[in-house]
Amino acid sequence: MKLITPFDPWRGRLCTCPPKYSFSPYRGCGHRCVYCYITSYVPGAFQPRVKEFTILQLEKEVKKLDRSMPVSIANSSDPYTPAEAQNLLMREVLPVLIRNGFKLLIVTKSNLVARDIDILSKGRVCVSITVTTLNGHVAKRLEPFAPPPVSRLRALEALSRAGIPTMIRLDPIIPGVNDDSDTISAILKAAFEAGVRQVTTSTYKAKPDNFKRVLTAFPELEDELKNVYSRGERVGRSTYMAESLRRELILKVREVAEELSMGFASCREGFPELHTAETCDGSHML
């Protein structure tokens, strides 16, 4: 079993990512976000465990890869899942990839990434941190075991000050939770003040298991969400909001991004013509 594989094995028709590799040192994630999609295909998705591999094995594998393609860490299981605070696995993995000349895209919703600034600053790295709300109470319902939003913003500021390119992912946008203009504006302004210069956003894609969790976490939104998604459309294995509503929400984010002179992109929405950033995943910043 290879450790590093081409990104997007399902070849999603709405994906706008440039060619890249994907690497997840963990299987599963301990943040237990209610909207998480990996529970539909990763056994024990909320019980993270280190994948069985050795650093020597990783060293051998990277020698055979195309160094012109960045490595995204990680697209399913957060590399800075809570257990990483004790495991220190990323402090072993990152030097191997950087030493071998790979460009890295770090994708997380944890402030723990700032711990590794000393290593990250030695390579060509872009860090993307998810911030879905600035309201700590809402965040606790939405992302129960993830660090609070204020901690993530501080991490973005520390990374930016260290000269490491950063992005924010406002992802997912969920009707009734974080779709209003004031919330979107506050998140982007806080990110901009932290030194972030690009936002990539996405609307919530419902699957039976995560939809059930979302309704359990936000019972007051059950009628609204059932109404929205009953009028949605099937895309791959997920139910999307209707295209007109998705576009309206995506445009809300773009409008604020333009006011702040931030680069803008959306993720798997089908509106690439709205993008102002060169890439949706920050590859152009490497």
Domains in the chain: ranges and CATH = 4-285 (3.20.20.70)
| pLDDT, mean of residues 185-214 | 98
From 38-42, 159-163, 218-222, the region with the lowest mean pLDDT: 38-42
Instruction: Supply the pLDDT for residue 1.
Output: 79
Instruction: Supply the pLDDT for residue 139.
Output: 98
Instruction: Supply the pLDDT for residue 69.
Output: 97
> Alpha-carbon distance 180 to 175, whole Å?
8
From 10-19, 37-46, 152-161, the region with the lowest mean pLDDT: 10-19
Q: pLDDT category, 242, cuts 50, 70, 90?
A: very high
Instruction: Supply the pLDDT for residue 156.
Output: 98
What percentage of the chain exceeds 70 in pLDDT? 99
Instruction: Supply the pLDDT for residue 12.
Output: 83
pLDDT averaged over every residue in the chain: 97
| The overall pTM is greater than 0.85 | yes
pLDDT reading at 235 higher than 70: yes
pLDDT reading at 198 higher than 80: yes
> Alpha-carbon distance 192 to 198, whole Å?
8
**φ/ψ (deg, to 5) at 173:** -90, 125
| pLDDT, mean of residues 89-118 | 98
User: 244, 278 in Cβ contact below 8 A?
Assistant: no
Instruction: Supply the pLDDT for residue 10.
Output: 64
| Residue 94 structure tokens | 């990152």
Instruction: Supply the pLDDT for residue 94.
Output: 98
| pLDDT, mean of residues 267-278 | 97
SS3 188: helix
Contacts of 186 (CB under 8 A, 6+ apart): 134
Q: pLDDT category, 76, cuts 50, 70, 90?
A: confident
Please state at what angle helix 208-217 crosses helix 222-230, rounded to 10 degrees: 150
What percentage of the chain exceeds 90 in pLDDT? 96
Instruction: Supply the pLDDT for residue 9.
Output: 65
Instruction: Supply the pLDDT for residue 8.
Output: 85
pLDDT digits (tens, 9 = 90+) for 104-162: 999 999 999 999 999 999 999 999 999 999 999 999 999 999 999 999 999 999 999 99
CA distances from residue 264 to 140, 144, 166, 281 in whole angstroms, order as listed: 27, 28, 13, 10
